[in-house]
A and B are shown apart, each in its own frame.
Chain A
Amino acid sequence: SQQGEEDPQALSIQEGENATMNCSYKTSINNLQWYRQNSGRGLVHLILIRSNEREKHSGRLRVTLDTSKKSSSLLITASRAADTASYFCATDDQMDSSYKLIFGSGTRLLVRP
Chain B
Amino acid sequence: GAGVSQTPSNKVTEKGKYVELRCDPISGHTALYWYRQSLGQGPEFLIYFQGTGAADDSGLPNDRFFAVRPEGSVSTLKIQRTERGDSAVYLCASSQRTDSYNEQFFGPGTRLTVL
Contacts and interface: CB of A to CB of B under 8 A. Distances in A.
Given A99-B100, A100-B56, A101-B33, A2 B39 contact: no
Interface of B: 31, 33, 35, 37, 39-45, 48, 55-56, 59, 89, 91, 93, 95, 98-109, 111
Given A2-B42, A103-B43, A45 B104 contact: yes
Interface stretch (A12-20, A29-37, A58-66, A69-77): A29-37
Nearest to B33: A100
B39 A42 contact: no
Contacts of A41: 89, 108-109, 111
Interface residue SS majority, chain A = loop
Interface residues of A, number: 28
A103 B101 contact: no
Interface centre among A88, A92, A98 (most CB of B within 10 A): A98
Interface in A1-56: 2, 4, 30-31, 33, 35, 40-45, 48, 50
Nearest to B34: A100
Contacts of A44: 106
21 contacts: A30-B102, A40-B37, A41-B108, A41-B109, A42-B106, A42-B109, A43-B91, A50-B101, A88-B42, A96-B56, A98-B55, A99-B100, A101-B35, A101-B43, A103-B43, A103-B44, A104-B42, A105-B40, A105-B41, A106-B41, A106-B42
Interface string A82-113: 00000010101010101111111110000000
